[in-house]
Amino acid sequence: MRRLFIATFLVPPLLLYGIFVVSPYTQAFQISTTNWTGLSPTFEFVGLANFQRLLDDGYLWNALRHNGLLLLFLPLVTILLGLFFASMISVGGRADRVGVHGVRGAGFYRVVYFFPQVLSVAIIGVLWKEMYAPHTGMINGLLRAVGLDRLAVAWLGDPRFSFWCVLAVLIWMNVGFYVVLFSAAMQSIPRDLYEAALLDGAGRLVTLVRVTVPLVWDTIQVAWVYLAIIAIDGFAVVQIITDGGPSASSDVVGLRLYKTAFGDGQFGYASAIGVAMFFLTLTVAVMFLRVTRRDRVELQ
């Protein structure tokens, strides 16, 4: 009876997961070995020709370079900002008779930082695209208002800035979540440790590095992997804000896959790009988990 009860609840969701998640992944592997156009009912088996083509695709390597930059800067900057803001919110206030505590209005700051998570990616993309607009955008408007007209440029239309504008949006839209995540992790750290560090003369930076980071390292490790996956993808934000930018200056692999499939009608080759992304994401995730692995710090 117990097994029947468990099977009743497990089999339907597992079946749905297999049909709508596992099956498309499996089909992508099969399609990647064909020259299917996406519309034709017929196709030819080409073996590994699509994967060989990946090695000579300049557009793909350009997109992969941008993903590499995202992989370098997005997790690093987001986690550093998240730790800093979370530390200020949790233990950044001045010590008094109550002990070590966060800054005044910490709850309000949490809401402000988390607000971008409430918005959909589409809304964020359209919002920032309008803010970057050369003539009507808020950014150039503020620059002109303070007399910095020469700094007002076509941000998204300039190959020098297009990619970095996208990176700034990705950081802005993700940092709030990790502020809240790190704040929650810091709540489990006894305030006695912070008070002891304060009595020993440790400043806020030293306390953050020597006390906070080791005790929330497991959370940081998970954040790093999630942000690495976002960096390898990055499709939605790039597609909405720049659509690859001028001269593909902000192109990413996800957008290259989309354009190859739905723009060029090369679903076989696009599936090969997807398979390569799958193994790249898996490799990066495993690598990050291994590189960032360290002994757990136990609180006695």
Is residue 33 within 8 A of residue 50, CB to CB? The reply is yes
Structure tokens at 294: 């360290």
Chain segment 34-68, per-residue pLDDT in tens: 999 888 888 899 989 999 999 999 999 999 999 99
* 224 inside domain: yes
Is residue 241 within 8 A of residue 166, CB to CB? The reply is yes
Q: Tell me the CATH number at 280.
A: 1.10.3720.10
Would you state the pLDDT for residue 98?
47
Model pTM score = 0.86
Structure tokens at 211: 């006390």
Q: What is the mean pLDDT of residues 15-19?
A: 90
* 226 inside domain: yes
* 48 inside domain: no
Would you state the pLDDT for residue 165?
94
Structure tokens at 220: 């940081």
Is residue 39 within 8 A of residue 231, CB to CB? The reply is no
Closest CA to 174 of 227, 220, 234: 227
* 128 inside domain: yes
Per-residue confidence band for 7, with pLDDT thresholds at 50, 70 and 90: confident
* 274 inside domain: yes
Please report which helix (H) or strand (E) contains residue 113, including its range: helix 106-118
Would you state the pLDDT for residue 164?
95
Domain count, the chain: 1
Would you state the pLDDT for residue 92?
64
Q: What is the mean pLDDT of residues 202-224?
A: 84
The residue segments making up the domain with residue 120 are 58-291
Q: How far apart are CA 240 and CA 254, in angstroms?
A: 13
Closest CA to 178 of 102, 105, 113, 91: 113
* 15 inside domain: no
Amino acid identity at 207: T
| pLDDT beyond 70 at 297 | no
pLDDT over 70, % of the chain: 93
* 30 inside domain: no
Chain segment 233-264, per-residue pLDDT in tens: 889 999 999 999 898 999 999 999 999 999 99
| pLDDT beyond 80 at 203 | no
Is residue 110 within 8 A of residue 177, CB to CB? The reply is no
Would you state the pLDDT for residue 201?
74
* 149 inside domain: yes
Number of Cβ within 10 Å of residue 131's Cβ equals: 18
